[in-house]
Amino acid sequence: MKALYKKLIPKLYGALLNVYVYVSPKNAAQKAFTIFTKVRKGRVSPHQKEYLDPVKHERIHLLGHTIQTYNWPGKKETVLLIHGWESNTWRWHKLLEKLTKADYNVIAFDAPGHGYSSGEYLYVPLYAEVLEHMIQTYKPVHLIGHSVGGMTILFNEYENPNDIIEKIVTIASPSEFHEIIGHFKELLGLSDRMLKALEEYVKNRFGFTIREFSSSKFVLTNTKKGLLFHDRWDKITPYHASEKVHAVWKESTFISTEGLGHSMHQEEVNKKIIAFLQG
């Protein structure tokens, strides 16, 4: 019954929006975007708290949010970690074992609406503004992003190229925003009229269409060295996303896996990340 309820609720929202769009396309689109960007999980759980609290760093007030940062001091270059959707900094704990052992200075932060940071909503342009502030503040040489965190890195590098950054790692990251919106349309059962209103809202608010927002387009001018991971059987983000990005990112290496899932916390992944940073 609970599973059925979870499936029906999105369809109910979609049905209401499909009617509302006839009354007020702009307001219906704004409501749809609010549903799309609402963060529903990813706060710090009790077992994560024990790990994260001792390494809390600055709390930065930015864009109406309070952003929690973390630091694992080291003598080598600074590495900045950018987590994915409905997650938090704890997701890096296995990789952090290797980064700290290798004596990297590691900075991480919780995205708006995630972990210890304030807020209820997250979308890539907002995430990128926070990321850019972190880059300017902590001067990282290497960036590592999981899922939407990887997409955010590539978008921000496109918008704000930075000579300090040398290497970028993306793990199971999406590429095409129109595919993400297509999944959202299917999940809620949105009509074509409602989707058109949402597309117009995105264009007016952010200055790009949903098809223009594409990691495979962002990297066309990217001269950084990149390492991309994606599992062939990833059930969250499509495998072809990283294939498309790698195909046009001249300085990238693509590592394809099978059976490691979306999170990719495994030892073999973390070892290859360290080898890439040290190479």
Q: What pLDDT is recorded for position 254?
A: 99
Whether the CA torsion 114, 118, 120, 122 is positive or negative: it is negative
Residue 228 in this model has a pLDDT that exceeds 90: yes
Q: Mark 213-237 as b/e (b = at least 16 C-beta within 10 Å).
A: bbbbbbbeebebbbbbbbbeebeeb
Sheet (strand 252-257) strand order: 56-62, 65-72, 105-109, 78-82, 142-146, 167-171, 225-231, 252-257
252 phi/psi in degrees, rounded to 5: -105, 155
230 pLDDT higher than 90: yes
- Return the bridge partners of 226, or none: 168, 252
pLDDT at 5 over 60: no
Please answer whether residues 29 and 45 qualify as being in contact, where contact means their C-beta atoms are separated by less than 8 angstroms. Answer: no
Q: What is the pLDDT of residues 108-151, one digit of tens each?
A: 999 999 999 999 999 999 999 999 999 999 999 999 999 999 99
Residue 213: CA count within 13 A, CB half-sphere: 21
Residue 134's CB: how many other CB atoms inside 10 A? Answer: 22
The per-residue pLDDT for 3 is 62
Compute the distance between CA of residue 38 and CA of residue 60 in angstroms, rounded to an integer. 22
Q: How far is CA 217 from the centre of its chain?
A: 17
For 147-178, what is each residue's pLDDT tens digit? Answer: 999 999 999 999 999 999 999 999 999 999 99
**Domain at 44-176+214-278, CATH homologous superfamily:** Alpha/Beta hydrolase fold, catalytic domain (3.40.50.1820)
* Residues facing residue 229 across a β-bridge: 171, 255
Computed over every residue of the chain, the mean pLDDT equals 97
Q: Is the pLDDT of residue 263 over 60?
A: yes
Every domain of the chain and the residues it spans = 1-37+177-213, 44-176+214-278
Structure tokens at 199: 């597309």
Are 167 and 260 spatial neighbours (Cβ–Cβ below 8 Å)?
no
Query: Residue 8 — very low, low, confident or very high, per pLDDT cuts 50/70/90?
Result: confident
**What's the token pair of residue 146?**
């999981």
**Roughly how many angstroms between the first and final C-alpha of the chain, as a whole number?**
53
Is the overall model pTM greater than 0.85, yes or no?
yes
What span, in angstroms and rounded, lies between the C-alpha atoms of 267 and 128?
A: 29
